[in-house]
């Protein structure tokens, strides 16, 4: 039996996550990556040096270089990878129980939206990837991994749309991501769970309207199936 579009998208995420075993990462390296993300989101990417990072961790620069021989560039690349892994892992866990494409779409939107509001490093990830497109600075492996994840993430939305009988364009999916990635700029979240729920409902409505506008004609197979009922 062939897999549904959602099952195929989920399987691709699982394969992506299997590329590296982050459970084997040492606690010291994890603390360094977490500290870098925190400092970069609080004070700006450019302001974080090996010296400031060492001060935050209570370590001398040579100790940091023993874990990250290539210095800040390596820490930036590894931080991007670590954030990507955690985001992808948690998103897949949230999406797997979905019983319909409509529920799957809603879970994707709610998770993405909440992450943008709860985790400031999500904006940092977007900034660094966008900056690399203009002036490449990431190592090739980190760049390939980031772009691979973006493609797989977009594919999840495309799979949901296809199962709903829609064939959303690439531009439509990118418009959905623009809305969700910009959550900090337009939502004015007050920090409460009740407000997050209300704003998440609005985000779902916005993305469904983009789905309506950004879709091509319904998928023929779905039209035939619908007509049969």
Report the CATH number that the domain containing residue 10 is assigned in CATH: 1.10.357.10
Phi, psi values for residue 48, rounded to 5°: -90, 120
Report how far residue 205's alpha carbon sits from residue 214's, in angstroms, rounded to the nearest whole number: 14
pLDDT tens-digit series, residues 61-76:
888 998 899 999 999 9
Is 159 a domain residue?
Answer: yes
Query: What's the domain range around 173?
Result: 5-17+79-228
Report how far residue 106's alpha carbon sits from residue 207's, in angstroms, rounded to the nearest whole number: 9
Summarize the confidence of residues 193-201 as an average pLDDT. 97
Report the pLDDT value the prediction gives residue 186, as an integer from 0 to 100: 95
Is 165 a domain residue?
Answer: yes
Is 41 a domain residue?
Answer: no
Report how far residue 118's alpha carbon sits from residue 8's, in angstroms, rounded to the nearest whole number: 29
With 0.95 as the threshold, say if the pTM is over it: no
Listed in sequence order, the DSSP H helices in 96-182 are 101-118, 121-134, 140-163, 170-181
Higher pLDDT, 61 or 224: 61
Phi, psi values for residue 168, rounded to 5°: -70, 140
Report how far residue 77's alpha carbon sits from residue 70's, in angstroms, rounded to the nearest whole number: 10
Report the pLDDT value the prediction gives residue 2, as an integer from 0 to 100: 85
Residue 205 has pLDDT above 90, yes or no: yes
Is 118 a domain residue?
Answer: yes
Is 74 a domain residue?
Answer: no
Residue 19 has pLDDT above 50, yes or no: yes
Is 38 a domain residue?
Answer: no
């Amino acid at each position: 039996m062939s897999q549904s579009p959602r099952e195929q998208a989920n399987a691709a995420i699982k394969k992506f996550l299997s590329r590296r075993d982050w459970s084997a990462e040492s606690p010291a390296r994890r603390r360094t990556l977490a500290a870098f993300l925190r400092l970069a989101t609080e004070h700006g990417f450019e302001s974080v040096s090996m010296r400031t990072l060492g001060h935050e961790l209570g370590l001398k620069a040579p100790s940091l270089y023993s874990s990250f021989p290539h210095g800040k560039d390596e820490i930036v690349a590894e931080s991007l990878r670590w954030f990507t892994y955690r985001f992808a892992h948690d998103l897949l866990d949230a999406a797997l129980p979905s019983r319909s494409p409509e529920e799957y779409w809603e879970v994707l939107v709610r998770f993405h939206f909440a992450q943008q509001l709860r985790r400031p490093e999500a904006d940092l990830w977007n900034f660094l990837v966008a900056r690399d497109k203009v002036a490449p600075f990431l190592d090739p492996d980190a760049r390939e991994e980031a772009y691979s994840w973006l493609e797989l993430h977009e594919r999840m939305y495309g799979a949901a749309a296809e199962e709903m009988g829609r064939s959303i364009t690439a531009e439509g999916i990118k418009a959905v991501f623009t809305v969700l990635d910009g959550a900090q700029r337009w939502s004015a979240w007050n920090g409460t769970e009740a407000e997050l729920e209300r704003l998440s409902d609005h985000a779902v409505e916005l993305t469904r309207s983009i789905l309506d506008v950004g879709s091509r004609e319904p998928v023929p197979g779905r039209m035939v199936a619908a007509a049969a009922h």
